[in-house]
Structure 1
Amino acid sequence: METYGSGVAFFDYDGDGDADLYLVNGADLPSASPTRPPPLNRLFRNEGGGVFLDATAGAGAGDGGYGMGVAVADVDNDGLCDFYVTNWGANSLYRNTGVKFLNVTAGAGVGDPHMGTSAAFADYDMDGQLDLYVANYAHIDPSAAKECFQGGVRVYCGPLDHEGVSGVLYRNRGDGTFEDRTRAMGVFTEKGRQLGVLFADYDQDGDPDLYIANDAVANFLFRNDGAAFVETALLAGVAYSDNGEPEAGMGTDFGDYDNDGDPDLIVTNYQWESNRLYRNEGDFFSDATTPAGMTAATLPFLGFGVNFLDVDNDGLRDLYIVNGHVDSNVRDYDHGASYAQRSLLFHNEGEGRFTEVGLHAGPGMTLAMVGRGSATADYDLDGDVDLCAVSNGGPAVLLRNDSRNASNWLQVKAVGTQSNRSAIGARLVLRAGTGIQSAEVRSGSGYLSQSELPVHFGLGATTQVDRLTIYWPSGKRQVLENIPANQRLTVIEPERK
């Protein structure tokens, strides 16, 4: 388990308009250091000017569990961002009171005790309250660990050496408590080894669907049909590789990279398996990995964190991928592999093609690390998207975007009224000189992580957005026109349709 973590979150916990930073830490097993206090997760307050200050103690945010992932949302619709931490062991929900965070796990009933990985909030039943899905990996008992070998070298045992365990779907009752609806909603399964998880309305029917990246077994796509979820990954073309084999799915993200109005899908995989890019064709997904130029470029890397982002504000979503092996001794059995690996940055050239430009994107991108979680935010409020990546057993890496081009941009912070306050699940469609772009407000991102909630659009040379249409989770449709570029726009859901 120690080789899988951990995650990172960007979110504005203090409501001052800029993204703060939350880093999840692992821990020793109790038997390894019974007298040493556990390392705590860390919350860093954004002070502006590129400076962050450790606010963990004062904010009460230092969860001491064996940390894995984090997801952020305004769970109680009070205008303040709360967060959920997954652990190896009981998970934790922290409610933001405006003064500090309170651990409300016991009262909320969301302390699942398994090996939690990624988590995501969404209003799956469209009642205005944010529900929660928690991905679980497997039953792992360190006291019963067996020895596993590859090429005569002792390594971590693989995912199929452990018994799978279902994730958990919690329904928000709206009174501070949640109920387990996993079986009732059709998402219970012990076949997976769940790592990456995201909600997205891939079929554009107005409710959030659920995608889960599994390690070494078929991935899951649960289509939300209202009364229940229906598993459709095989029929939709996102369960297996292009040759029909299960892959070691790690991280996942949705993004409309071809600007056709619907969310496409990326999944990171194990070394010598390429990452998988799926293009949304409406009723199904097609494997676009090779046509996009991503097969050979990703084969030598073991991918974890992944994010769609428009790094140069040209109106096309690029891809950032964080890499790192799981075995520190990998060179002893695979001389072509390495434990620490550089990140990949795929520039979107349009027409469905990407070019890997990481070697030319600055020292932060070429830095070798044992990469895991990653998240995006414009933390310095200069109009371009910055990054943070987590290294297993090492320091996190904060990457400031210094592209310094003349391209324009628009950032949108959506605030729900009848919909959930975080506006998670809202779909934004933008029409401008660069054509049409679309994006969703989303909780959870990539691998074990959370990007900031405001949505970023690059506009290229266009100085004005002709039309911005917001499809709110409540069913309302809101249209704004003639919006000047280069601003962070706050849009409040109207009281009437």
Structure 2
Amino acid sequence: KFNEISLWEGSDEELRAGKTKFRQSLLELPKKFPSGNYFKVVEISSQGGVFKATLIVDHLGEKKEAHAEWVCEWIRSSDEKLKLLDLERKNYLELRSDKKVLYNDYTYKVLGGTPHYDTQINKGISEWAGLISKFGDMAMTGHHGIAIGDVNGDGRDDVFLCDGGSLPNRLYVQNDDGTATDVSVGSGIDWYEDSRAALLLDLDNDGDQDLVVATIAMIVFAENNGNGQFAIKGGFPGAQYPFSLSSSDFDLDGDLDVYVCIYGEGDMNSGSRGFDERSPVPFHDAKNGGKNVLLVNRGGFSFTDETESVGLGTNNDRWSFSASWEDYDNDGDPDLYVANDFGRNCMYRNEGGRFTEDAKGLGLEDTGAGMSVSWGDYDRDGTFDLYVGNMFSAAGNRVGAQAKFASGRGPDEILEMRKMYRGNTLYRGTEGGFSDVTRDARVSMGRWAWSSGFVDINNDGWEDIVIANGYITGWNKEDDL
């Protein structure tokens, strides 16, 4: 829990410090914030010989951190050197805590004793690329999820880990002391197919956690015998490039149903999938992605594709990354939000087991690079709010701010294109819909956000936001302007 939070808004003449004082302040930053000081240029422009740059600044320390925007003005002097004319600090936020960290990394303590920790779990894609027979079976960007549940009924959570093609999936059962035992082989789930996502949930209502896995071959359903051993009961081969799974009893018949997000259409005969098969066109509003699938639970591990019959076929042509269920309108049945890459997201309102797509009407289209979605009530007003994880790109912001950006395109289309790199979006729920409060809440910059979630990480009763982010950084240092 943070003991002190300081905010600074507006202009302050004392911050327009002299050159000597400013230089000294910069030199002292590593002492005040020893964990790192990061400056990210997000906008740059020039007019009349004056250059203006906007930076996102992060100062990190063990017990305090600070975040702000800097707006700097420069001029080229007679000796061709840049001279700082002015610096304005905006949206300053400083946090102090009596604790050094909220969480510690316990990966090795929990999994370090398992036999494959060093040979599989602790290796990255760069090592596997030169060892596996077909690189196409392993997602270079690491789209491999996990599922958490109690597989053996001992009251402790266990972990199922999806992995890339040519590497077996893993099931780790938690021990009394908090460590884990690898039971993958004995449980019957150490499949070598490229697996993207999994769910541990009770599909047959017998009280134990069954398993659903989205593999490159098919959606696999496996029954738990109650002791953590699984038997394959069937599969659905019609999902050619699955990226994520979500589940809900949308028709309220007592059985859990499964929704599958399909990223890009695939060709099972050629082996091409995703970008190998086609590119998203147009890049900011692509409608040539895969077709998501709703698998309705008929009992006895029998599932049927009812996507079209229940109304989920509307706008079902996007590059879908993830989906989340929630009864946002409090009418008793779960509704569905789908986060799509390369364009608009979808919001399906459930009306007695049939769906109506109304993202635009509710103000929830969010034309960014959608990768994740989470429901919560961050302001505790009793209405559901929505946080969508997208892509934040400093380079994209710099390029998109230029007057010549997307010349020849209409203003609405340019706004949509600029949204692609703006970052994450927070929607506040109201009685009549949703409003975008991202800027006021200062939650857009989640970097390259693959996953995000509302969670009260410090147990103070207020939901915080946790974001998993990152991407591959190349060595090209050429200017982007």
Q: TM-score range by the shorter chain?
A: 0.5 to 0.7
Matched, 1:104 2:242: no
1:267 and 1:190 map into 2 onto residues whose CA distance is 19
Aligned twin of 1:279:
428
Offset, 1:334? 7.5
Q: Secondary structure at the match of 1:63?
A: coil
- The answer as to 2:372 corresponding to 1:251 is yes
Q: Tell me what 2:384 maps to.
A: 263
Q: Decide whether the 8 Å contact of 2:196 with 2:243 is kept in 1.
A: yes
Match of residue 19 from structure 2:
none
**For residues 386 and 158 of structure 2, what CA distance do their matches in structure 1 show?**
27
Residue pairs, 1:285-324, within 5 angstroms: 285-295=434-444, 297-298=445-446, 301-324=447-470
The SS at the match of 2:294 is strand
Deviations 1:141-186 (A, max 9, x none): 57669999xxxxxxx9657589312111111112331111100001
Query: Partner of 1:58: helix, strand, or coil?
Result: helix
1:209 equivalent to 2:338? Answer: no
User: Is the alpha carbon distance of 1:45 and 1:291 closer, same or farther for their aligned partners in structure 2, counting shifts above 3 Å?
Assistant: same
Amino acid of the residue matched to residue 14 of structure 1? N
Partner of 2:323: 197
Structure 2 residue aligned with 1:385? none
**Correspondence 1:167 to 2:295:** no
Contact 1:69 1:119 in 2 (8 A): yes
Q: Which residue of 2 aligns with 1:138?
A: 264
Residues 280, 60 of structure 1: alpha-carbon distance in 2 compared, 3 angstrom cutoff: same
Unaligned runs of 5+ in 1: 28-37, 149-155, 241-245, 337-497
SS of equivalent to 1:320: strand
Q: Is this contact kept in 2: 1:203–1:283, CA < 8 A?
A: no
Cα gap change, 1:87 to 1:143, in 2 (>3 Å): closer
The CA distance in 2 between the partners of 1:146 and 1:233, in whole Å, is 25
Of 162, 182, 187, the residue aligned with 1:24 is: 162
Residue of structure 1 in register with 2:301 after alignment? 176
- Give the drift of 1:330: 4.0
Equivalent residue in structure 2 for 1:59, among 187, 208, 213:
187
CA 1:146–1:182: 2 relative to 1, 3 Å: closer
TM-score (norm 2): 0.60
1:96 Cα shift? 0.8
Q: Find the counterpart in structure 2 of residue 458 from structure 1.
A: none
Q: Which has the higher contact order (CA 8 A, sep 6+)?
A: 1
- Tell me how far 1:71 sits from its aligned partner: 1.9
What is the aligned partner in structure 1 of residue 222 from structure 2?
Answer: 94
Give a deviation string over 1:340-384, Cα, whole Å, max 9, x none: xxxxxxxxxxxxxxxxxxxxxxxxxxxxxxxxxxxxxxxxxxxxx
Seen in structure 2, the aligned counterparts of structure 1 residues 227 and 147 have a Cα distance that, compared at 3 Å, is: closer
SS at match of 1:290: helix
Deviation at 1:252, TM superposition (A): 1.1
The letter of the residue matching 1:170 is L
For 2:179, the aligned partner's letter is V
Cα deviations by residue, 1:429-453 (Å, 9 ceiling, x for unpaired): xxxxxxxxxxxxxxxxxxxxxxxxx
How many angstroms apart in 1 are the aligned matches of 2:390 and 2:281?
13
Residue in 1 that maps onto 2:476: 332
Superposed CA deviations along residues 213-244 of structure 1, whole A, max 9, x for unmatched, are: 0001210010001141000111111112xxxx
Q: Which amino acid aligns with 2:465?
A: L
| 1:79 Cα offset (Å) | 0.3
Rounded to whole Å, the distance in 2 between the matches of 1:48 and 1:159 is 52
With over 3 angstroms needed to count, the CA separation of the structure-2 counterparts of 1:334 and 1:278, relative to structure 1, is farther
1:85 and 1:282 map into 2 onto residues whose CA distance is 37
Give the letter aligned to residue 120 of structure 1.
S
Task: Assess if the C-alpha contact under 8 Å between 1:159 and 1:193 holds in 2.
Answer: no
Aligned with residue 8 of structure 1, among 146, 152, 174: 146
SS in 2 for 1:234: helix
Equivalent of 2:211, from 80, 83, 105?
Answer: 83
Q: CA deviation at 1:97?
A: 1.2
Shift of 1:74: 0.5
Return the index of the structure with the highest Cα Rg: 2
Distance 1:333 1:278 in 2: 36
In 1, Cα distance between the equivalents of 2:153 and 2:273?
45
In 2, Cα distance between the equivalents of 1:190 and 1:4?
A: 25
User: How far apart, in 2, do the equivalents of 1:145 and 1:226 lie?
Assistant: 35
Q: Provide the C-alpha distance between the structure 2 equivalents of 1:159 and 1:25, rounded to a whole number of angstroms.
A: 29
Distance 1:159 1:259, change over 3 A: farther
TM-aligned CA deviation for residue 206 of structure 1: 0.6
Name the counterpart of 2:416.
none
Shift of 1:211: 0.7
Q: Tell me the residue number matched to 2:199.
A: 71
Identify if the C-alpha distance between structure 1 residues 95 and 321 changes in structure 2 by more than 3 Å, giving closer, same or farther: same
TM-score, normalised by the number of residues in structure 1: 0.58
**Residue number among 157, 163, 174 corresponding to 1:46 in the alignment:** 174
What is the alpha-carbon distance in structure 1 between the residues aligned to residue 233 and residue 208 of structure 2? 15
Q: Name the CA distance, whole Å, in 1 between partners of 2:195 and 2:226.
A: 24
CA distance in structure 2 between the aligned counterparts of 1:223 and 1:56, rounded to whole angstroms: 39
Alignment CA distance shift 1:288-1:4 (3 Å): farther
Q: Is the 8 A contact 1:257 1:316 kept in 2?
A: yes
Count of residues in correspondence between the two structures? 306
One-letter identity of the residue aligned with 2:143: G
CA distance in 2, matches of 1:322, 1:69: 16
Deviations 1:171-211 (A, max 9, x none): 11123311111000011244211101111111111100011
CA drift of 1:40 comes to 1.1
Which string of whole-angstrom CA distances, capped at 9 and with x for unpartnered residues, describes residues 252-293 of structure 1? 111111112232111111132211111111331111211111
Cα gap change, 1:285/1:64 in structure 2, threshold over 3 Å: closer, same or farther?
same
Q: Which amino acid aligns with 2:476?
A: D
Q: Distance in 2 between matches of 1:170 and 1:7?
A: 20
Q: Which runs of 5+ in 2 are unaligned?
A: 1-138, 394-421
Q: Structure 1: which amino acid aligns with 2:155? A: G
Using the alignment, how far apart are the partners of 2:255 and 2:340 within structure 1? 28
Closer/same/farther in 2, CA of residues 335 and 105 from structure 1, 3 Å limit: farther
Deviations 1:283-315 (A, max 9, x none): 3111121111113x33xx100121211111100
